[in-house]
Structure 1
């Protein structure tokens, strides 16, 4: 594994996206434990894209306009739904002083769906992994799996760090109703902007 791969991975993961946004929101809304579970869910959501790229299924997404558009607009619809429930302060991202463990499952499911419904992740892995695996490597599949595992580990660590930092600020948030309203609107607006960006994406 090259240092170039690690640097590229870090740059990609650190860049704000739907996964990072959801993990931060979970940390502020539900606390440190929920933020770690959100990071775990976002990481799990990478697995289907990684497997699709390795098995060549990403090529179908890349060449099939219909398949790409279906997944893309499912992702757009889901992000708009997340914006709606966040604005209404319902669901797993509602900010409460008393955090219930029963919301953990919902946090994970939402986090997984956020990444699964992003067709660009499959295309990204399809274009990203081969750059760091020699064309004639006898164990190319093993190398791609190893690189994917590193990418997922870095994603989990970075997202969890985002979420835990947000959770550390949680007490300041729940003690200020006006800040809670501002944050709720900001996260809802961010989900809308991310849905618009996804809608405008081309293969």
Structure 2
């Protein structure tokens, strides 16, 4: 994988991880309820669930490339359009991100198992990865190595971001709960998603 392609993916993966979702809610909730240290297991759990999705998506993309170059190209175009659509939906989202505290007697292992299930039960991440990965994969090169690089990059970035959310929640939980603040955050990330989709589409023109 070319270095400039990887840097472009890093920027996109950061937007993907920062955008509010179920993993974010879990991280903020844990940060508010248990503090950063006890929540580390939950962050690991989220990454285990994400890694499972990455393996499933990677296997599917590899099979698709082997079967049909045309189908792979169609997926890339649909993926770029999906990013723009996702950005529009995020821009219009005015809901607040309310972090609900859980049972304070949960162990670290319980938090880890809960986090794994949260990501495994979130089909949106699979759809997003299916739309995202083909934009950065060269079908003429080794698929396994490219998917491995993208997968590891995704997990590392998401772990860092979830750690940041958890730490931030323990200090600034009341601001993160604010509907007004979340409305602004949604507009920022909505614009980023639309920009990523537009840039990817323009690059293929």
* Residue of structure 1 in register with 2:191 after alignment: none
Q: Tell me the alpha carbon deviations over residues 58-97 of structure 1, each in whole angstroms, 9 at most, x when there is no partner.
A: 99xxxxxxxxxxxxxxxxxxxxxxxxxx5xx6xxx235xx
1:26-53 deviation line (CA, Å, top 9, x unaligned): 0110111122222211111101111111
- Is the CA contact 1:54–1:144 (under 8 Å) kept in the aligned structure 2? yes
Provide the C-alpha distance between the structure 1 equivalents of 2:56 and 2:171, rounded to a whole number of angstroms: 36
TM-score by length of 2: 0.59
**Residues 62 and 143, structure 2, Cα contact 8 Å, conserved in 1:** no
Matched ranges for 1:6-155 at <5 A: 6-56=10-60, 86=100, 93-95=102-104, 103-137=107-141, 139-155=142-158
Contact 1:58 1:122 in 2 (8 A): no
- CA distance in 2: counterparts of 1:21 and 1:158, whole angstroms: 12
User: What is the CA-CA distance between 1:107 and the residue it aligns to?
Assistant: 0.6
Q: Unmatched 5+ residue regions in structure 1? A: 60-85, 174-182, 187-203
**Counterpart pick for 1:156 among 146, 155, 159:** 159
Q: How far, CA to CA, are the matches of 1:57 and 1:116 in structure 2?
A: 19
Shift of 1:124: 2.0
Gaps of 5+ in 2: 64-99, 180-205
Distance 1:133 1:44, change over 3 A: same
Q: Secondary structure at the match of 2:20?
A: coil
CA distance in 1 between partners of 2:103 and 2:162 (Å): 19
Structure 2: distance between partners of 1:114 and 1:34: 18
Aligned-residue RMSD, C-alpha? 2.5
TM value normalised by structure 1: 0.60
- In structure 1, the residue matched to 2:169 is 166
SS at match of 2:140: coil
In the aligned structure 1, how far is the partner of 2:50 from the partner of 2:164?
18
CA distance in 2, matches of 1:148, 1:57: 13
- 1:119 and 1:169 map into 2 onto residues whose CA distance is 29
Aligned residues: 136
SS at match of 1:56: helix
